[in-house]
A and B are shown apart, each in its own frame.
Chain A
């Protein structure tokens, strides 16, 4: 099942791009003004390029369906558990950053990332996490004068 799904990656992406092109074309047609060739308006470029995306996307999809489905070379060695965990950690980091503040968020997520990436022990990862979070916070906040998000309580 997993192998079949992976071997369909090229086809899925290709279909997705065609669908995206169709969505953009319909949206641009409804919400944006096309104008004319002599006097183009805001919808001119999106309509032209979404049409291009649809046309090239359809041709590409046809080619992908003619070819035998194969797992893309770069996907063959991917550990999907690590991939999902990393993406989830990134999403969680973004979600939490203005709620708990930069320092706390970075400390929690970086520590989780290091541990889930397979680092052994607790003390070394914790010290590295705290040092990194502090250094980044200090570098951006004080050296570069770029205010990083802070929670109201911290």
Chain B
């Protein structure tokens, strides 16, 4: 019954989005999201960070609709580059290259792009169904969460970010510490003391998260694009007649899409896992289930459908902790959360009950964003491909100026622009040295919540963490899982290092 009422509310949410202005904003968002996302090197996080200022002037619902268009547009843009020129725009698009690019080389690039768009759309629809069912349930559970549970779940998320999402666990731990320390700058909300401000008034409010993100993602990405090796711009030829999948193609992929969407949604729910790991799992699963595993890697349409359905469904999975707990566990979700906050929306346990119109409007907007993306992208495959021929020497400086204007617009502060440049400078070097930027951004974002939850726990239980976790068993189990996972990963990392050393 409750699930039914959730779907009724979803229907109302969809209807509230169906105004001319909202549809137009969603279309524009999808278009410019795809436009930026198709540029090699600029991923979802970078695109949303760069285009966030475009949404400033709108009311919250319209802005959310436009943002979802930008988000899914940039995700699709990443798939276009993966398929046509073998450059994944985002980590979640890496697996799409495995079969997408061989298909493009066979002259079936158009079909690969269509399969990608359709699979993403279907994955998104299944993800929305999952989100509609689980978000309400989890938000009710989340209402029971206290400081102890929040502390445990943040620690668990950070452990997963440093272990699963980071290639090098040690570097993951370093950036988590660094992120929390950057988050400590400014007026401390828990104790009311000024920390690391060095008398600079502009630092009293701390490092603005969006500014920080625009620096470490936006400026860093632009640095790579401007100073990196120029892309060849060579586009594989594809037959326009072979643009759309046939009935037999649909027959071949539908089971894959359903399976992978469920897998993606489930893995997206796990903090820190995100879509990247899920796409690898899905690809492996489909290859092992396939009657023709030898086709994988050579240009299998199932090999394109699997990662695309998975990563889109995983987006909705990772929206569940974001919307119901208010905790983002990936950089792109952290950027989405900051975008929500910019528009006066604070996700969390009370978000669904206090702002049902916005919550269901948001979910509805995602569905509409997906539909519009499908409609506008299928006929424009050729145009997107030609975007790669764009003159970078003109485009990148313009994007830089848009980023600066957006960075200034957040607080109207020139100081923030300086912070952005400094963050871009350090972000570049941390990025090239393999430090996980997602862990850095998320830990900075969670610093305040972590400190509040930790201090609250310590004060309530008189510094006895053991007592806290015994009295609050849910928190205890999550914390124990975090410790076990941490120790297991540390041991595995050390074993791998020793093994590599001995082999050499």
Contact = CB atoms under 8 A, between A and B. Distances in A.
Contacts of A27: 196
B341 interface: no
Interface in A1-39: 9-10, 13-14, 17, 20-21, 24, 27-28, 32-33, 36-39
B173 A72 contact: no
A75 B219 CA distance: 16
Main secondary structure of the interface of B (DSSP, over half): helix
B432 A75 contact: yes
Given A63-B170, A72-B433, A94-B421, A118 B393 contact: yes
B455 A80 contact: no
Contact of A87 (B178, B223, B417, B430): B223
Interface of B: 53, 56-57, 170-171, 173-174, 177-178, 180-181, 184, 188, 190-193, 195-196, 219, 222-224, 226-229, 391-394, 396-398, 400-402, 404-405, 408-409, 412, 414, 417-418, 421, 424-425, 429-435, 447, 450-451, 454-455, 458-459, 462-463, 497, 501
A52 B177 contact: yes
Q: Which 6 A-B pairs have the closest CB atoms?
A: A117-B393, A113-B397, A77-B229, A42-B193, A37-B463, A144-B57
Contact of B177 (A33, A38, A50, A145): A50
B394 A114 contact: yes
5 contacts: A45-B454, A46-B196, A90-B404, A97-B408, A146-B412
B397 A114 contact: yes
Given A90-B421, A94-B417, A83 B223 contact: yes
A136 B404 CA distance: 10
Contacts of A74: 224, 431-432
A110 B397 contact: yes
A98 B414 contact: yes
Contacts, number: 176
A9 B391 contact: no
Contact of A90 (B192, B196, B219, B433): B219
B160 to A, nearest CB: 17
Given A74-B224, A110-B401, A113-B397, A41 B181 contact: no
Interface of A: 9-10, 13-14, 17, 20-21, 24, 27-28, 32-33, 36-46, 49-50, 52-53, 56-57, 59-60, 63, 66, 72, 74-75, 77-80, 82-83, 86-87, 90-91, 93-94, 97-98, 102, 106, 109-110, 113-114, 117-119, 125, 128, 132-133, 136, 140, 143-149
B463 A36 contact: yes
Contacts of B431: 74
A50 B195 CA distance: 13
A128 B454 CA distance: 52
Nearest to B405: A136
A149 B501 CA distance: 56
Contacts of B57: 143-145
Contact of A56 (B173, B193, B393): B173
A7 B222 CA distance: 23
Contacts of A28: 195
A42 B434 contact: no
Chain A's interface: helix, strand, loop or mixed, by majority?
Answer: helix
Contacts of B455: 40, 44
B228 A77 contact: yes
B417 A97 contact: yes
Contact of A93 (B184, B196, B404, B432): B404
Given A45-B454, A125-B394, A146-B56, 4 more contacts: A41-B191, A79-B229, A97-B414, A113-B397
Interface centre among B170, B404, B417 (most CB of A within 10 A): B404
A140 B402 CA distance: 10
A53 B430 CA distance: 14
A79 B225 CA distance: 11
A45 B414 contact: no
B433 A128 contact: no
Nearest to A60: B170
A148 B229 contact: no
Nearest to B450: A45
A101 to B, nearest CB: 12
A113 B31 CA distance: 26
A60 B174 CA distance: 9
A9 B227 CA distance: 17
A117 B396 contact: yes
Given A27-B196, A87-B421, A146-B56, A132 B458 contact: no
A102 B404 CA distance: 10
Contact of B181 (A49, A82, A147): A49
